[in-house]
Structure 1
């Protein structure tokens, strides 16, 4: 399974929604505190892009000696229609400063969040993440494609996803026999998570034979899963 640090860093570098919580900016609107882009630097710091006139930029510009604490909160929502769509939350807290000259677009400013601690609570469980682990963690290689891939699986390969129940246990087989819908819920380099819906919902993981590193390897792994289910 992916480590807590990898899951946290993957969320930071994904397209999930986020908000930057800064003391004293409680009156700011949610959209004013949502960065336009996020990236992680070589030392594990998080760079956040904001309009130059945003409340977060003003607060960071006036802060001195890394005195301004801040928390980046992220919410991960499944990109497919499924009950209980929120897949996870992550928090990265630390100290906020402005980083002049890094924003390439006019009218924008880059802010730098030095990570003090982080945590994640998702489909795998809840864990704290140390700054050093966050800095050295790898990002899941499928993160940039996961939304498109899950939507494609749900719309074009629904029957094959449904057939995966034959590779699992009695509960999954019974769910398929009852006509419960199987929805592809999450995808990472280790495997596919499917949610069986109905009066009650439950998830099942289908692991790949080995971790995938790119789309080509993913296609082979998915074909292997579908072929196994078909036989």
Structure 2
């Protein structure tokens, strides 16, 4: 399974929604606290791009040499319609400063020095040290996950439903929907004949490194379901 550090780095570097929580920013609209872009630096710091007049930029500028505590809250929502669509949340807390000279005119890059990291997702909840966060890499399938899951649900529903046949201990599976994808396997959300939901996980024979390996792994999985 992916480590908690890898899962958190994946969320930070994915397209899931993110909002910056700052002291004294209660009056700001939620969209004003959402960075336009985010990237993790070589030392594990998180760089956040905001318009130059954003509340977060004003707060960081006003703080100057003082440490401005901040929390980057990330919410991961399944890209297909399933019950309980929130797949996970992560919180990256630390200290915020301006990083002038990096962003284009009209914008400011803010630097979040990471102090604490916590993730709560489909795998469970865990704290992550700043060092482990800095050393981790995002899942290589992050850029493809949304497209692949939506394609499976829209164009290959028959194959997806066939996965229910691999759940020998659950003969009451009524509906199967793709829920999440990573280099280690595919997770689906099932509904039984009583209308109750549960998740099932199908691991790949070996970790997938790119989209070509993913095609082979998915083909092998569907073939196994048909046999």
Q: Per the shorter chain, which TM-score range?
A: over 0.9
Instruction: Please name the residue that 2:161 is paired with.
Output: 162
Confirm or deny that 1:182 pairs with 2:176. Answer: yes
* Match of residue 67 from structure 2: 67
1:66/1:95 contact within 8 Å kept: no
Report the equivalent of 1:110: 109
Q: Indicate whether 1:17 and 2:11 are aligned.
A: no
Shift of 1:101: 1.1
Q: 2:211 aligns with which of 212, 215, 220?
A: 215
Q: Pairwise CA RMSD of aligned residues?
A: 0.9
- Matched with 1:83 is 83
> Where does residue 99 of structure 1 map in the other structure?
99
1: CA distance between counterparts of 2:168 and 2:90? 31
Flag structure 1 segments of 5+ consecutive residues without an equivalent. Answer: none
- CA distance in 2: counterparts of 1:187 and 1:220, whole angstroms: 14
1:193 matched to 2:191? The reply is no
| Structure 2 Cα separation of the partners of residues 123 and 224 of structure 1 | 24
TM superposition shift of 1:138:
1.0
Is residue 12–residue 39 contact of structure 1 (8 Å, CA) maintained in 2? yes
- Normalised to the residue count of structure 2, the TM-score between the two structures is 0.97
Deviations 1:98-140 (A, max 9, x none): 001111x321110000000100000000000100000000110
Deviation of 1:66 after TM superposition, in Å, equals 4.8
Which runs of structure 1 show a deviation greater than 3 angstroms over 4 or more consecutive aligned residues? Answer: none
Give 1:121's aligned residue. Answer: 120
Q: Which runs of 5+ in 2 are unaligned?
A: none
Aligned partner of 1:38 in structure 2 is 38
SS in 2 for 1:59: helix
**Size of the alignment, in residue pairs?**
225
SS in 2 for 1:227: helix
Please name the residue that 1:204 is paired with: 200
The CA distance in 2 between the partners of 1:140 and 1:63, in whole Å, is 35
TM normalised by structure 1 equals: 0.95
Q: 1:134-153 to 2 correspondence within 5 Å?
A: 134-153=133-152
2:52 — aligned with what?
52
